[in-house]
Amino acid sequence: MSVRRIVLPAICVASTIVFWAIPGTAAAGENDAPVALKIALRELARGLESPTFNIREATSEQLISAHASAVPVMLSVAKEGNLEAAVRAVGILEAIYISADSKRDGATVDGAELALDELARSGRPSVAERADVILESHYDVRERRVVAEIKRLHGVPKYGLPGEPGNGWNPRFNPAPAPMDRTGDGSKEKGDLTWVILGPKWTGGDEGLKQVARLKRLHAVYRIQGCPVSDEGITRLRAAIPGLEVVVRGAAKLGITYAGSLGNEKGCVITEIQEGEAAANAGLHPQDRILRFGDHEVEDFYSLVDLLRNYRPGEVVETVIIRDDEMKTVPITLTGWD
């Protein structure tokens, strides 16, 4: 029997003793325990490189049970260990990630996810590929947690069906249409999370954009006038999510969807009306054509968007529309984005 086969179980036992001893080590100082634990875990992690399958398996199980404490050690092994150990370390991070989510241990979930993110960008192809697959296969975990955080920071996540024409998507600048919010209540039953509204009530600032940046499948962010984020923060967000569209809007909204141009005709033809928003509250219908908004003629949808930037939620605007070849003037009380 090799020396390694004899020594490793002893290391495992010693590690277990350290785990149990830590809660009672106040006399030794709070900073001593994490160092001792880290050393024990590093020694334990040597078992991932053992030529014996049973030892590798037993070591993996013990590292998974170490939970959050094992995350930084597994990150290091995945970067520096041999290929067998590195791939196992990624698998251990996945197990910790799933277990922590089931236990609603947010701090551990975040730590494991950050480690996997870092590995997905690493220079080791096998490790990076495995980490990326894990993050994609458990994207629902990330999305659920990020949505909760975005709501806490007073952002508004929206769900829709990618590829449908969207509210305010400008084809002159954006090659693909925006997703349309079709759920009303923000549930995921009728589509995926595809855009996020950041309005004046956003309390996350630039730091909170790091949460949005975790949503790698996000299509668009609506940046509403008065939102307390910087241009630099938006630039970093775009870099973090390739292909992300950032749509700038005024604080007031009508709540209409526009699907296409009218050729040479002036005005904005409404495609859909969003319940509970200004247009719906004023009694506007799909196929109504908005000709005048306040004191200004409406050339097209985009001129209407520009005009809205001059108003605030709660203001009443006299709006001229055409419905069934009949011209009407309708007072509209504008709503807001959040």
* CATH (domain of 290): 2.30.42.10
Pair 96, 47 in one domain: yes
User: Residue 38 domain-assigned?
Assistant: yes
Find out whether 164 and 271 touch, Cβ atoms under 8 Å: no
User: Residue 73 domain-assigned?
Assistant: yes
Pair 298, 242 in one domain: no
* Half-sphere CA count of 119, side-chain side, radius 13 A: 35
Rounded CA-CA distance 265/294 in Å is 19
User: Residue 308 domain-assigned?
Assistant: yes
CA distances from 323 to 269, 285, 305, 327, 329 (A): 10, 8, 21, 6, 11
Pair 17, 123 in one domain: yes
4-10 contacts at long range (C-beta below 8 A, 24 or more positions apart)? 4/50, 4/51, 5/50, 5/52, 5/55, 8/46, 8/47, 8/50, 8/55, 8/59
User: Residue 146 domain-assigned?
Assistant: no
pLDDT at 34: 80
User: Residue 77 domain-assigned?
Assistant: yes
Pair 197, 310 in one domain: no
Pair 236, 310 in one domain: no
Pair 243, 124 in one domain: no
User: Residue 144 domain-assigned?
Assistant: no
Q: Which amino acid is at 8?
A: L
Pair 21, 131 in one domain: yes
pLDDT at 259: 66
Q: Which residues of the chain have pLDDT under 50?
A: 1-32, 162-188, 190
Pair 76, 128 in one domain: yes
User: Residue 145 domain-assigned?
Assistant: no
Helix (H) or strand (E) segment spanning residue 291: strand 289-293
pLDDT at 264: 72
Dihedral, CA atoms, 86, 92, 94, 100, nearest 10 degrees? -150
Quick check: helix, strand or coil at residue 245? strand
Strand partners, 252: 336
Pair 28, 105 in one domain: yes
> CATH code at 46?
1.25.40
Q: Which domain holds residue 39?
A: 3-137
∠ CA 141-167-338 to the nearest 5 degrees?
65
Contacting residues for 97 by C-beta, under 8 A, at least 6 apart: 109, 112, 113, 116, 134, 138, 141
Looking at the structure of the chain, the number of domains it has is 3
Pairing of strands 245-249, 220-224: parallel
Rounded CA-CA distance 335/337 in Å is 7
Pair 28, 110 in one domain: yes
Q: Which of 83, 108, 137 is the last residue of a domain?
A: 137
Pair 324, 307 in one domain: yes
pLDDT at 258: 81
**Among 121, 118, 114, 123, CA closest to 96:** 114
User: Residue 143 domain-assigned?
Assistant: no
